[in-house]
A = this chain, B = another copy of it.
Amino acid sequence: MLSLSRERGTLVSNPLVRKLNRFVPLGDAEIAALESLSRNPKTHPAGHDLIREGAKPEYVFLLMKGWAYRYKSLPSGRRQIMAYLIPGDLCDIHIFLFDEMDHSIGLLSAAEVVAIPAAQMLEVMNRFPKIERALWWATLVDEATLREWLLNVGQRNAYEKLSHLFCEMAVRMEAVGLIDHDGSFSLPLTQAELADTTGLTSVHVNRTLQRMRRDKLIEIGQQRLMILDRAGLRESGGFNPNYLHVEKKASQASTGAALSA
């Protein structure tokens, strides 16, 4: 089903390896190190919070299976979802520098998560410059994504917001090999969660999704999304995947080499 999952046996089945490998070609030693990092994931049920706002961060979380999300709540009960984490995603690798989380991370589905102690994370980065470089790249992509979300929430209308979000998730799922043979992919989000992501209400999300279905852009339901008209969806969301830095490689130039030195 997952078209690449059989190349090189278990190697490519590790979503972290798969993700980082897109950017910096990794050697066997690096791959082994990453696989050893991701050993012993723990399974958590949907709805569980990995860490809450106010808590002291001591681990870097690596998601192996399932979906998670960052969010922040307001006293009024409103909340904003600030990122989705999918398999292969790692939380900010230096988050433990702070003594207190300023947001929470929850699980949208049952998930397998590795909690990597800060010291171990640093050790791997010191030992493998290529991994360090790839992790910085991943961090920069996270930040770029956040900026794009700000643009999305601040400047686009409901139809554009949802189109854009779906395009982004499709590219990201594809990058870790989680698109199904029929082109659909898992999207374990309720309409209320889509609303908290885009700054809309669930009622308005519902009506907008109906328009998108009527316009033959997508099929959505049962925790799955199928994009029927990729070009149309990209156009209606003004989607340009450049900020994900995934469809073309980043620079291999001298500045990159300097980091490895």
Contact = CB atoms under 8 A, between A and B. Distances in A.
Given A122-B259, A147-B102, A250-B97, A199 B153 contact: yes
A251 to B, nearest CB: 4
Oligomer: number of copies: 2
A245 interface: yes
> Which of A58, A97, A119, A259 is packed against the most chain B CB atoms within 10 Å?
A97
Given A72-B147, A150-B80, A151-B74, A136 B251 contact: no
A96 B154 contact: no
Contacts of A79: 155
Contact of A98 (B119, B140, B155, B258): B140
A250 to B, nearest CB: 5
A13 B53 CA distance: 35
Contacts of A156: 74
A78 B155 contact: yes
Contact of A155 (B74, B95, B96, B100): B74
A119 B137 CA distance: 17
Given A102-B242, A140-B92, A140-B95, A151 B258 contact: no
A70 interface: yes
A238 B72 contact: no
A39 interface: no
Interface string A137-148: 101101110111
Contacts of A80: 150-151, 154-155
